[in-house]
Structures are given as structure tokens and as C-alpha cells.
Structure 1
Amino acid sequence: MGYIVIAPVGDNPKALFVGMKEFATEKVYLLTPPTQRRTAEELKRKLAEFTVPSEIKELHGGLLDEMFRLFGEISRGHDPDRIIVNVATGDKMSTCAALSAAFAHGLRAFGVENDMCILMPIMKLSYYNELSDNKMNILKLLNSKEYISLTDLSRKLKMSISLLSYHINGTLKYKGLKEYRLVEVKEEGKSVLVRLSQLGGLLLKGYS
């Protein structure tokens, strides 16, 4: 049984086949912007010659948002321990986006240098495994454009302000959403306001 390989399509398609020599491959997901669709189709044809099934998934809109969304979609359909990400196949931006998404999901990833595969130091634990249901519910009610007071958030979640504060600020022993950099917090007078950070928004893309 081989790996499920996620590969952004970009400047270095040759790296896909270098990776396949090192990691037995069961299926490949080619994540491509519309401008690289032709390259993705050519890779799909070459993979078929090796009897390796592949699926093209187009990236529409913001690169980071879409990369996190597609990583989440693929991760939900397969055992994460069988997924590996080849970040060497993309251009600079898609490589960075794929590596960030791999880190957030706790997926193994590797690059290619001088025709050699180099595993990236990514821990198995993902953000999603670290966050409780309560923390995820808090994130889902926030947005990145407007702050909301803890009082209003408490009312919407039907959660006490003290428990809400615990999930946002954490303790010496347990990290809160603020320390994970998933929310931004500020004070206005006696009110504490919170909103979703950019990273928090990306994580929600991968979760939904």
C-alpha cells in the first residue's frame, strides 16, 4: 500500500517523479492554479502511464485559503498517516502555501534537492487535534473584519465569560486561542474584544 501524495503544480514537475522513487505512491492529488492546468493535465497523462491514479484539483481565489481548504478536503478522505506532501513541485508561493497547510494538518512533507528527497521537520500533531470542540465553536463565530466583545460572544455561544476567557487566553498549563495566534484580542475601556486572525481564518478553511 502506497502513499497518497499531494503536490502543488508549478515550476518543477520533475520533482513529482523523483519523490515517487522514494515514496511508493498509491494516488496523487495535483493542486493547480488555472494557469497551470495544461501542466497538470500532462502530469496526469504521465502518471497514467505508470498506472498511478491522479486527480486534479484547481485552486480558485486566494492561494493560502484554497490550499488550506483542499488539504482539509483531502485529509478528511484519507488516513493522515498515509498522506505525504511533495512541496518541491510548485513555484515559490505554492510551495510555501503547501508547507504551511501540511504543518497545520500535521502531514508529512518533503522537498527535493539534487534529485534527493529531504523530509521536512513537521510534527504529527495538527492544530485540529490540539483544538477542543469549544475552541472550534468559538472560531466559527468570529470573523477577521470585526471585533466582538466577550459579552456578546458569551451570549451567542451560551458559554460563561470565565470559560470563554479560559479558551481564548489559556492558562500556564494549557494554551488558548490567543497563544495559538488564531485570534486577536484588544481592550476598549472595560470591554475585551476579540476577532479571528488570518491564521484562524485559514484553519477554518481547512476544517469546513
Structure 2
Amino acid sequence: MHSERYLDKNFSLASPRLTLVPMTDSHWQEFKALKGDPALMANIGDVLDRQALIKEFKLRAGPWQADEGQWYSLMIYNKTQKNFVGSFGFRIASLENQRMELGYSFLKQSQGQGYATEAGITLIRFLFEQVKVRKLVAACTTSNTASWKIMEKLAFSREGLLQSDIFINNRWHDSYLYGLVNPLPHENEAG
């Protein structure tokens, strides 16, 4: 993988309707709008108290070092209205196996407009073609129908079910696991 390709501070991606830019210290309000919304977080994770939310924000808004497990968040804006619609994040799940994990969340008023699919297609194309990721994975609670439908629109295949996997709002939830293998040839494959 070529992780250096997304460490540049001027990095951005664009689709027909959207611009995706790295999260920086200036994106606190947008981050708080996503992570602080109990309805939005109901199937993703617990709403954090202010101190924990600030700590999480600082981890994601700082410079990305391409370390396994560290999330890199892209903030997504509508090009026409210049308004914030959501976020797509990725992290290296396994450097050795060239595998990355994706995650996303979109403001309630931005849902149902195809933004997640459009942003996802743009990010997946970049990760496969430029970064040379071999496989992308994603997970969501089984009750998060909107999320797993987006994964399926993005051509991810459901690869598994983990029972009693994620603890959210004082109860355990089952999770679906999804995967998408890069159809392009990889550098370290015999061929």
C-alpha cells in the first residue's frame, strides 16, 4: 500500500456533488454534530461525554501517521450548497495484509440523498487505484439497515455475522461483517 499518498495536508477527493477533505482542528462543530447525536449514534456507539468526545476528536483531527488502527476522517461537503453532510473514515486494519476498514456517518438531514454511496464510490476508487489497498472491510450492527444497504450498494459482500459483538446503550448487538476485494492486480501477487 502507498500510505504516503494521503498524508499531504492538501489532500482532497471530489465527486460530482461532493468534496471530501481531511478532518482538521477546524471541524469540531461538524464532528460534534455527528458524534453527539443520540439518534444517529444509536446503532454506531455510545454518545461520549464532552471530555471523551474532545479526546476522540483530537485523535482524528491530528496528522495521520498511517499506523494500524488509527482512523483518518474525511469531512464531506455538498459542492453547491457548501454545507456539511457527513464523514467517511478509514484505517489500516492490517498493513501486512493490505486491508483497510471503512466507516461512515451522515447527518439525518443528509440521509436518503445518495451522498454516502457517492462518497463511498469516490473513496473506494481512490483506495483501490492510488493507495493499492488489497481489501476493504466494514461492519455494522444488524439493526443498522441503512448502513448495510449502503455497503451492498458499494458492492461489498456480507462475509459474516458476529453474535453479541458490540456493546451500545447498555446492550449487546450482533454485527454484520462486509468485505470488498480490489479487482485490480496487486504489487506483491504472482501473476
TM-score, normalised via structure 1 length: 0.29
Higher strand residue share:
2
- Higher-Rg structure is 1
Higher helix residue share:
1
